[in-house]
Structure 1
Amino acid sequence: MSRRLILTCLLSLIACSATAETWPGETWAVQPIAASAALADLEKYAFTPRDELTRDGIRTDALLVIRDGHILYERYAGPTHGNTPHLTWSISKSVMATVLGVAYGQGRFKLDDPVAMFYPPFRAHPDIKMQDLLHWASGLDWQEDYEYAPLNSSVVAMLYTRGRADMARFTAEHRVAQAPGTSYRYSSGDSTVLAAALRGIVGDQAYADYPWTALFEPLGIKNATWETDATGTFVGSSYAYMTARDLARVGVLMHREGRWQGRQLVPKAWVDFNLTPFNQQVPLPSGEVPGGQWWLNRTGSGQPGPWPDAPPDTFAALGHWGQALYVIPSARLVIVRYADDRDDTYDHNAFLRLALAAFKEEGGQ
């Protein structure tokens, strides 16, 4: 073998090694970031003591930052520790969408399939398709009010009162307000019907274990709990519990377009669907840009999204009281934040601005 050929082979090996992806096994590789003024600013924002009597202000329970499969930063507070499965609230919606992505890749359903194919109570709504639920665009007359207007709230009734025994059926009993697929209306009911449809998609026998066999076990997630209603249907809107490190695995999967190690666990086409803005040119009045059960920072026309200090490719799974899984592909960052914010003090854009400054790479722009 010539010297030139040997040198070429060595250079190729070095290049492959330099670009090799790091994947978490039982544990994560750790590359802690050095202390800095920018990191201190982030910590001051995220971990400022709040008034525990009124519970006003920001309370971060966990903050975990990943770059390229390595942990850069990890901190816990309050009752939360590294091995605590934290209530994710509506991050559950994005996790359920990822579970459905595995079933989609197995050829078990199509986006334009009627929901009634898999969930019989939706025969009353034959025109609602799977993609409509994924876009929160079922057209059902749903009121997503919380503790601020509990008497008017469909979601409070679903989770805690007259709908709690069979949450998907309770949703199916709502009247139609608009044509399916034409407009966005955020609905925990839509997300819970997706969880009920999953039973019809994979079958009764596989259903109870499917989130684990399809997604959690391949990702190495060990500490997930998902509550069900009295019918055994997963509460797809709200009640998944995961540690910060386990949730970060979902973020890494999405960052890497559905790939996990040597396997395309979720089709790239599914990830692309999740990250495509739903039929809108500008953010909604609330500032939201919905995708397929994920939140986006770009509109269909490329106009700025709700977090102007973050890159346009940023996307997130978000939950009540400040839960967040942020993915920032251009910065190669995955960030998990668990929290107990009981007012409107916490601001996603402010947090992302501080986080991007704290974890800016040397020589980065």
Structure 2
Amino acid sequence: MRSIALIFVLLNSVLFLNAQETDLEINYNKLEKLISFCDTTTEATEVLIYHKNKEIAFWRNGECHTYGMTTSSMVKSWTSLVVGILIDHKIIDGIDTPVSKYIPDWEAGSVNKITIKHLITMTAGMNRRSGSRGILVEKNMKEYLLNFEPDTLPDIRFGYSNESVQLLGMIIEEATGMEANAVFKKYLFEPLGMDSTNLVKDEAGNDIVFGGTKTTIRDASKVGKLMMQKGNFNGKQIVSKQWITASLRPGKHAPFYGYLWWLDNASKNPNYAATGDGGQLTIIYPELDLLFLRNQSCFPNGGHRMPWMGPYFLNLIADIVQKPLVEMIDNQPVIESNVSSIDIRDGKIYKEKY
């Protein structure tokens, strides 16, 4: 099977397209439109796209000289996977286990009967704390959390919270007797071949599991592939199918949220995502067998907000997958695609249809 590699040099950015001749479901005109939007509107640093577990496009903005990827909150979804793996291995008892079993010194968790499920679904009764009010400014996050007081009783409403996820990190460490980074490496990063990925630490040396992980867009893509294959990677079941299914089940108090995964089941193209501040994205469209990743390493406007994130952008991604046009010639199906062969002459790309 012959592969065709396309390289577009656009100003200071480079787009690599890898097209399999048998994969005629990609509309390359819409793909170029998507990349252009990611460049000019979202001001992304990198975009990586897979269809049917095969890379179809990689784009990088050459004006950004900061390499690698900082996940921001995208790593929260990875923390969910590690919890699931430890439950699969019976290292953690189960999703409904009281937090007090692993963190007995957290008095509020014991009094309020908070469970692992409350933490992983963001229903532990914690409001979002930003700026100087939250865990982000704490030098010793573990010490801070042992004295942390929730805002309400658990299982009343959804409340997005960094504190909830960091408490899961403490549970991971107590259950295994290992630092969180070592656990992530043993059970997730190494099995997936994520050799360039590490958690970061606070000033006291505590591993942070709710944000800031150092990685690359290609390492991050392996988590997306794991999810697309229902917990399987390169023929090995890393986390159970049951955990993946449960992770993507809409929450009782938040139909848009599962086990630290954002859910979009109302869209014409249902998808779920791991997201981080500034537009760090892993978006999966199960029905389209499509995986999209976006990395922001430079912030040309000095801001981390994502005003472009919404239905238009999500549909722009999904629209690159098209149904092939099938016609019959001499009683044999002939499939037409918008790209069939590429010839590069004099530095220009010529596209020809079948």
Kindly indicate whether the alpha-carbon contact (under 8 Å) linking 1:85 and 1:224 is maintained by their aligned counterparts in 2: no
Q: Which one has the bigger strand percentage?
A: 2
Task: Report deviation, 1:131.
Answer: 0.7
What residue in structure 2 maps to residue 297 of structure 1? 264
What residue in structure 2 maps to residue 195 of structure 1? 169
Are residues 214 and 36 of structure 1, via their aligned partners in 2, closer, same or farther at CA, if it must alter by over 3 Å? closer
Name which of 241, 246, 269 aligns with 1:273: 246
Are residues 360 and 242 of structure 1, via their aligned partners in 2, closer, same or farther at CA, if it must alter by over 3 Å? farther
Kindly indicate whether the alpha-carbon contact (under 8 Å) linking 1:61 and 1:80 is maintained by their aligned counterparts in 2: no
Task: Report deviation, 1:363.
Answer: 4.3
**d(CA) in 2 for partners of 1:326 and 1:195?**
24
What residue in structure 2 maps to residue 69 of structure 1? 53
Kindly indicate whether the alpha-carbon contact (under 8 Å) linking 2:125 and 2:156 is maintained by their aligned counterparts in 1: yes
SS of residue matched to 2:49: strand
Identity of aligned residues (%): 22
What residue in structure 2 maps to residue 95 of structure 1? 78
Name which of 131, 134, 158 aligns with 1:184: 158
Task: Report deviation, 1:128.
Answer: 0.7
Kindly indicate whether the alpha-carbon contact (under 8 Å) linking 1:80 and 1:86 is maintained by their aligned counterparts in 2: no
Gaps of 5+ in 2: 1-16, 327-354
TM-score of the two chains, using structure 1 as the length reference:
0.75
What residue in structure 2 maps to residue 347 of structure 1? 309
Instruction: Report matched runs for 1:103-114 at 5 Å.
Output: 103-109=86-92, 110-114=94-98
What residue in structure 2 maps to residue 20 of structure 1? none
Gaps of 5+ in 1: 1-28, 49-56, 284-288, 299-303
2:151 aligned partner, one-letter code: A
Kindly indicate whether the alpha-carbon contact (under 8 Å) linking 1:95 and 1:250 is maintained by their aligned counterparts in 2: yes
Kindly indicate whether the alpha-carbon contact (under 8 Å) linking 1:171 and 1:190 is maintained by their aligned counterparts in 2: no
Instruction: Report matched runs for 1:255-334 at 5 Å.
Output: 255-280=228-253, 289-298=256-265, 304=266, 308-309=267-268, 311-312=269-270, 314-334=271-291
What residue in structure 2 maps to residue 23 of structure 1? none
**d(CA) in 2 for partners of 1:86 and 1:135?**
26
Name which of 86, 106, 114 aligns with 1:128: 114
- TM-superposition CA deviations, 1:146-172 (whole Å, max 9, x none): xxxx35x32xxx222xx2x22143234
For the pair 1:159 / 2:151, whether they are aligned, the reply is: no
Are residues 230 and 180 of structure 1, via their aligned partners in 2, closer, same or farther at CA, if it must alter by over 3 Å? same
**d(CA) in 2 for partners of 1:119 and 1:232?**
18
Task: Report deviation, 1:174.
Answer: 2.9
Task: Report deviation, 1:240.
Answer: 0.9
2:107 aligned partner, one-letter code: R
- TM-superposition CA deviations, 1:44-90 (whole Å, max 9, x none): 21100xxxxxxxx6221111001122100001114368xx4300100
**d(CA) in 2 for partners of 1:69 and 1:348?**
25
What residue in structure 1 maps to residue 32 of structure 2? 40
**d(CA) in 1 for partners of 2:124 and 2:272?**
22
Runs of 4+ in 1 over 6 A off after TM superposition: 32-35
**d(CA) in 1 for partners of 2:18 and 2:87?**
34
Name which of 112, 116, 124 aligns with 1:138: 124
Kindly indicate whether the alpha-carbon contact (under 8 Å) linking 1:168 and 1:189 is maintained by their aligned counterparts in 2: no
SS of residue matched to 1:225: coil
SS of residue matched to 1:327: strand
2:19 aligned partner, one-letter code: Q
SS of residue matched to 1:200: helix
- TM-superposition CA deviations, 1:3-47 (whole Å, max 9, x none): xxxxxxxxxxxxxxxxxxxxxxxxxx9537988431232122110
CA-based RMSD of the aligned residues comes to 2.4
TM-score of the two chains, using structure 2 as the length reference:
0.77
Kindly indicate whether the alpha-carbon contact (under 8 Å) linking 1:115 and 1:129 is maintained by their aligned counterparts in 2: yes
**d(CA) in 2 for partners of 1:35 and 1:363?**
12
What residue in structure 1 maps to residue 344 of structure 2? none
Are residues 363 and 120 of structure 1, via their aligned partners in 2, closer, same or farther at CA, if it must alter by over 3 Å? farther
What residue in structure 1 maps to residue 225 of structure 2? 252
- TM-superposition CA deviations, 1:100-149 (whole Å, max 9, x none): 22211101111111112222332332111111100111113x3333xxxx
1:294 aligned partner, one-letter code: W
For the pair 1:338 / 2:295, whether they are aligned, the reply is: yes
Task: Report deviation, 1:275.
Answer: 0.5
Q: Which one has the bigger helix percentage?
A: 1
**d(CA) in 1 for partners of 2:30 and 2:181?**
45
**d(CA) in 1 for partners of 2:291 and 2:89?**
27
